[in-house]
Structure 1
Amino acid sequence: MPVTIRDVAQRAGVSKTTVSRVLNGRDELDERTAERVRAVIAELGYVPSARAVAFARGSTHIVAMLLPSLTWPWIGEVVQAAIEAVEDEGYGMLVFTTTQGDESMRRFAEHVSARAFDGLLVVEPGGTLDYITRLHEDGLPVVLVDDRGHEPMFGSVATTNRLGALAAAHHLLEIGRREPLVVSGDPRFGCVQERLAGFAEGFGAAGLTLDPLRAVEGDFTFESGQAAVARALEAGLHFDSLFAHNDTMATGAMAELRRAGLRIPDDVAVVGFDDLPSAAQTDPPLTSVHQPIREMGQAAARALLASFRGTPVPREPIVLPTSFTVRASTVG
């Protein structure tokens, strides 16, 4: 069996903490004690693991990231950007998802208890914000990558959802579209409320009030985009444009519009939100509000890493602006 730090401590007649201090090179130890420990280490051939040395130094050089799932459309972009920022500073990344519900959270909690990482990046799984807040209050550095409009009691990185939707409204009005259909996300999310408000503000400024019947709730999936258009057409609702709260629903909506024999953008101009890399490959390419997803992941990781060096994460959200990308789904 491999030699452990406990074996060294027992042979040298000291505590494991003392062995850790020797491994860490701390000079507050009596030199004779330190020499005895070093001699036992040599005698037993003990090779400390990187984790043991990191623990002795009070740092694992590991960052964790907690996610709902890796299958969300933009999660991959956030994770990759965060990993790049973390690895640039010599840290590693542990990624946890909550796809198995309580069992996933139990395993995550075990890693928290074992101090397996120095800090936590979060794309909040539903219903976990209170737990994450407690971790932060107990001293764990935490930064939230937020697209839901939360304002947590710890650091977060967000984007300008309202202004992004306002830009979508302005664009549709500029190209003469005055009868939009809105395919929203779950209204419990703050980002959905902000996108609804920003879009309504844009049309309101033009003297147009959006009929509530023109807002159809989806769930951010391709299928809900299809279903929203199908319901609107079955109800006989006329619309010359469509604003979906993410690119995935916009893509589903375009598929249903084509199935119904409607031309894009001639009959219906379509705008999405996120501007994922796939938006440029849809048929036709999708006009979309560009959410700075990669930049959000990088900013969150850098803020967390800076906190390890003594720079506190700002309590106010770090807000990165949206922009607008025009493609052929609105301007042929």
Structure 2
Amino acid sequence: MTITIADVAAAAGVSKTTVSRVLNGKDDLDAQTADRVRRVIAELGYVPSARAVGLARGRTRIVGMLVPSLTWPWMGEVLQGAVDAMEAAGYGLLLFTVNRGEDSMRQFAQQVSARAFDGLLVVEPDGQTGYIAELYAGGLPVVLIDDRAARRPMFPSVGTTNRSGARSAGEHLIALGRHRPLVITGKITFGCTRERVAGFADAYAEAGLPIDPALVFEGDFSYRCGREAVLRSAGAGFDAVFAHNDLSATGAMQAVIESGRSVPGDVAVVGFDDLPLAANAQPPLSTVRQPLREMGDAAARLLLAHFAGEPLPASPVTIPTTFVTRESTTGR
């Protein structure tokens, strides 16, 4: 049978409030009463709920994390970085998705009202910026990971160098003599998409090679959109593909091969993220490595430092990308 705080109170002849005060180390109790309560706790084998004790102390030692979906290819790496940092500090992570739209957000709001967590990590769901801003303005510590809407500095945030990362992809392709790239973007409403478009265009403009607007295809970061972009552009004479994530890059690469052209002989292909599938693609995919696990870790550490008394940073924390060269561009 589970021993409750009421059982302890009855056996010790005190109120539940008194038992709670003993559990939380309050020093305004009679020493004999406190000793009696502690003896009863030991005799009954009562184990207090860590969450209940935390709430009584004004904290839960739990951090919430709100993400659009767990199906995003890179979400696991971000989550792992955050979980590792939190668990090492003795905190738990309470995960929320927006898979069911408004129903999901209502459940999340209930947990906010119940003060179920001490702070919030967010990979911003579409259409929820205003609500998250209200929570932050109301005193909930919030750190945004991968500020896709480019609304910084509305929130403390951790991101990466999307523009310079895309620029490095362009410089790599130009150095290989690839002058007519097909660009497969993410959703243009995302800040990271606009930064990647701009960075890639910067490299080509400086080389005197403006990108043909007819070869810029707005996608949705999916394998399918990578295939469709290549199929729709079959007669456009492109000699390279820069896709805004690895999943659409692998879709593009497969469509190039199925069309009878070779990678990288006829078409060099570059992605963005450096997910495990990039190294395992055939041929292995050159890509811009986004520091996903490091971003999750850094965001979690910002919250942990805040709990310890440090202010959240006013400026974004930026972790740089790196370019990874593989056979989809070099052939070796």
Q: Give the TM-score taking structure 1 as reference length.
A: 0.92
Q: Tell me, yes or no, if the aligned pair for 2:242 and 2:269 is still in contact at 8 Å.
A: yes
How far apart in 1 are the matches of 2:77 and 2:85?
A: 13
Map 1:1-332; keep pairs closer than 5 Å.
Answer: 4-5=4-5, 18-29=18-29, 31=31, 34=34, 47-148=47-148, 149-233=150-234, 236-332=235-331
How far apart in 2 are the matches of 1:136 and 1:29?
A: 37
How far apart in 2 are the matches of 1:319 and 1:42?
A: 50
How far apart in 1 are the matches of 2:202 and 2:286?
A: 20
How far apart in 1 are the matches of 2:130 and 2:20?
A: 35
Between the aligned residues of both structures, percent identity stands at 61
How far apart in 1 are the matches of 2:159 and 2:15?
A: 47
Paired residue type of 2:199: G
Q: Tell me, yes or no, if the aligned pair for 2:51 and 2:61 is still in contact at 8 Å.
A: no
Q: Tell me, yes or no, if the aligned pair for 1:23 and 1:56 is still in contact at 8 Å.
A: no
Instruction: Tell me: CA distance 1:239–1:143, structure 2 relative to 1, closer, same or farther (3 Å).
Output: same
Instruction: Give the superposition deviation at 1:18.
Output: 4.8
Instruction: Tell me: CA distance 1:80–1:47, structure 2 relative to 1, closer, same or farther (3 Å).
Output: closer
Instruction: Tell me: CA distance 1:253–1:35, structure 2 relative to 1, closer, same or farther (3 Å).
Output: same
Instruction: Give the superposition deviation at 1:58.
Output: 2.2
Instruction: Give the superposition deviation at 1:59.
Output: 2.2
How far apart in 2 are the matches of 1:128 and 1:9?
A: 45
> Could you tell which deviates more after superposition, 192-201 or 44-53?
44-53
Instruction: Tell me: CA distance 1:179–1:16, structure 2 relative to 1, closer, same or farther (3 Å).
Output: same
Instruction: Give the superposition deviation at 1:56.
Output: 2.0
Q: Secondary structure at the match of 2:99?
A: coil
How far apart in 2 are the matches of 1:131 and 1:15?
A: 40
Q: Tell me, yes or no, if the aligned pair for 2:227 and 2:255 is still in contact at 8 Å.
A: yes
Superposition RMSD on alpha carbons, in Å? 2.3
Paired residue type of 1:117: F
> Could you tell which deviates more after superposition, 144-153 or 277-286?
144-153
Cα deviation per residue 1:249-274 (whole Å; 9 max; x = unaligned)?
00000111111111000100001011
How far apart in 1 are the matches of 2:63 and 2:236?
A: 50
Instruction: Give the superposition deviation at 1:140.
Output: 1.5
> Could you tell which deviates more after superposition, 140-149 or 1-10?
1-10
Paired residue type of 1:25: G
Cα deviation per residue 1:169-199 (whole Å; 9 max; x = unaligned)?
1001101010111001111111111111111
Q: Secondary structure at the match of 1:158?
A: strand
> What are the ranges of 5 or more consecutive residues in structure 1 without an aligned counterpart?
none
Instruction: Tell me: CA distance 1:281–1:311, structure 2 relative to 1, closer, same or farther (3 Å).
Output: same
Count of residue correspondences:
330
Q: Tell me, yes or no, if the aligned pair for 1:147 and 1:159 is still in contact at 8 Å.
A: no
